[in-house]
Amino acid sequence: MIYLDNRQEEIKVSEELIKDMEKVIYFALKEEEVENECEVSLVLVNNDEIREINNDTRNIDKATDVLSFPMLDYPKGKVFKDVYKEKEFDEVYLDGEELVLGDIVLSLEKALEQSKEYNHSYEREVFYLIVHSILHLLGYDHMIEEEKIIMRKREEEILNKLDIRR
């Protein structure tokens, strides 16, 4: 289940965009071989709120595009399908029957700014940031170049399969 919380008023969020965001989340999970019923929270915020969250959680006092808060731990270089694909989860990880993957906090203001900067659609930027964040929830990272290459490749593969192009 996807819990969507739109906490911003600067950018209108259509029902169609909400459905498309959910579709992207479910597709990315499927592509990453997550077969469990899952719970993901998607929180839509403005630049001020994401700056505050970024400062509170990472001590970085600036607005960013997306923050990911995974609930599962991953060994260095391992992702969900390497570690958890066959795991039977207990109530520590479950909300009812659903595996709690974590939270995505997305600044729609920053997504709009970046779509203009990168010269592609606002929707493409939102979908890219969602895929990027889902991959973080599943253990991917980009702190070192080798991991960054792997993560970027997966992002593009998933977006291409959804026919979401630059």
95-100: list long-range contacts, CB under 8 Å, 24+ apart: 95/39, 97/37, 98/1, 98/36, 98/37, 98/38, 98/39, 99/34, 99/36, 99/37, 99/38, 99/39, 100/38, 100/39, 100/71
Rounded alpha-carbon distances, angstroms, from residue 83 to 28, 68, 143: 17, 19, 20
Q: Is 136 annotated as a binding residue?
A: yes
Q: Is 142 annotated as a binding residue?
A: yes
Residue with tokens 């039977």: 88
Q: Checking DSSP bridges between strand 2-6 and strand 66-70, what pairing results, if any?
A: unpaired
Q: Is 120 annotated as a binding residue?
A: no
Q: How far is Cα 110 from Cα 96, in angstroms, rounded to an integer?
A: 34
Q: Residue 2 region, left (φ>0) first, then alpha (ψ -120 to 50), else beta?
A: beta
The binding site consists of 132, 136, 142
The binding site for Zn(2+) consists of 132, 136, 142
